[in-house]
Copies of this chain bind each other. A is one copy, B any other.
Amino acid sequence: MGRRATIREVAELAGVSVATVSRVINGAAVAPETAARVGEAVAVLGYRPNGVGRSLKTASSRLIGVLIPSLANPVFAEAVDGIAEGVDGSGYSLLFGASDYRRDRERAGIEALLRYRVDGLVLTVADAAASEVLDLIEAVEVPYVLVYNPAGDHRRPTVTVDNRAAGRAVAERLIGLGHRRLGMIAGRLADSDRARARHAGFAAAAAEAGLPAPTLREVPFTAPGLEPVLAEIFAAPAPPTALFCSNDMLAIAAVAALGALGRAVPDDVSVVGFDGIAIGTLVHPSLATVVQPSRELGRTAAQQLLGRLSGEGAAASVILPHVLRHGKSVGPAAKHSPTASPASNLPAHSLVTRTSTP
């Protein structure tokens, strides 16, 4: 890295003090003529203010730390894009870290971000209610806003959808289509409060409808083969006729695995995902899912944090509306029931269900 001009050199060339140069740079009151001289010196030297020196003096890095599980899942990539959008023009930059869904890397990532003295954080953690990482962040008093993590008793500021209500809505829709035996596959629930909330709502609706508790199978996040898992599920005496997957990536993989096992979706099994990533509308059959406004979630989280940083009091939790997308991966359960019915082709479900906004 080549030597860079310092504020001091600019001052000398312009024949003023460093304080004056600083004022010009930061837009403070300076005589027009002086400002012009300084501006010229800046141009001549190719001077670029050193943010490190500035940060040290002002005790503000103008950095926002972002920590998410992985950019490989579009739902997070979109949120980060939203965060970048929300931060744009504010003078803040994003320091990025990925946890790869692992708690130890979550911790390591935060440590790294903290070392750079980020002014604030936007992050998705494994479990907001019991997070060592969040305890740490609170201990050092760095403002933060969660994304995706469900709001709850933890009272931690988060921007998310109502995961529980969404899980419930999925079950209700499935039940409305005649499904009586429901199943769910999810990442490790212990590692995802989101999946837990979705499952809770799903199971609650099933219970209220007087149905047996949905079969639940947990699969590692980076599970390669879903086939054995699904084979096992469908080897049971009374296998589910509808499967709720805790996220779209899982759902899409499940549809593929089901196909490999000779089970048609939605004729043999209905599948519903969660997230609403763009792929879902393009796969075949199109994926029924709960759509989260990912980009908006990220943007809102960033804005909440920015507000907090500019002293507008504590950031509050925000629940954004989710939408049930009625893709072709779900169908009626009629043909699976003892009372055989020829209703194989229902009209396309183009209705969109919207939750209320808080």
Kindly state whether residue A140 has any CB partner on chain B within 8 Å. Answer: yes
- Contact (Cβ within 8 A) A56 B48: no
Interface residues of A, count at CB 8 A: 52
**A97 / chain B contacts, CB cutoff of 8 Å:** 84, 93-94
**A252 / chain B contacts, CB cutoff of 8 Å:** 282
- Contact (Cβ within 8 A) A51 B284: no
Chain B proximity of A289: nearest CB distance (Å): 14
1/0 contact string of A155-178 vs chain B (CB within 8 Å): 000000000000000000000000
- Contact (Cβ within 8 A) B46 A139: yes
Q: Which of A28-36, A69-77, A179-187, A219-227 contacts B (4 or more CB under 8 A)?
A: A69-77
User: Contact check: which of B96, B143, B295 meets A1 at CB < 8 Å?
Assistant: B143
- Contact (Cβ within 8 A) B98 A116: no
**A141 / chain B contacts, CB cutoff of 8 Å:** 1-2
1/0 contact string of A281-297 vs chain B (CB within 8 Å): 01110000000000100
Closest 10 CB pairs of A and B: A284-B284, A2-B141, A77-B77, A71-B81, A51-B115, A96-B96, A282-B283, A279-B279, A71-B77, A94-B96
Chain A residues within 8 Å of B, Cβ to Cβ: 1-2, 4, 46, 48-53, 55-56, 59, 61, 63, 66, 70-72, 74, 77-78, 80-81, 84, 93-98, 111-117, 119, 139-143, 252, 256, 278-279, 282-284, 295
Can you pick out 19 interface pairs between chain A and chain B where the beta carbons lie within 8 Å of each other? A1-B119, A1-B142, A4-B140, A48-B114, A50-B56, A51-B115, A53-B56, A63-B116, A70-B81, A71-B71, A71-B81, A72-B81, A74-B77, A84-B98, A93-B116, A94-B97, A95-B95, A96-B96, A282-B283
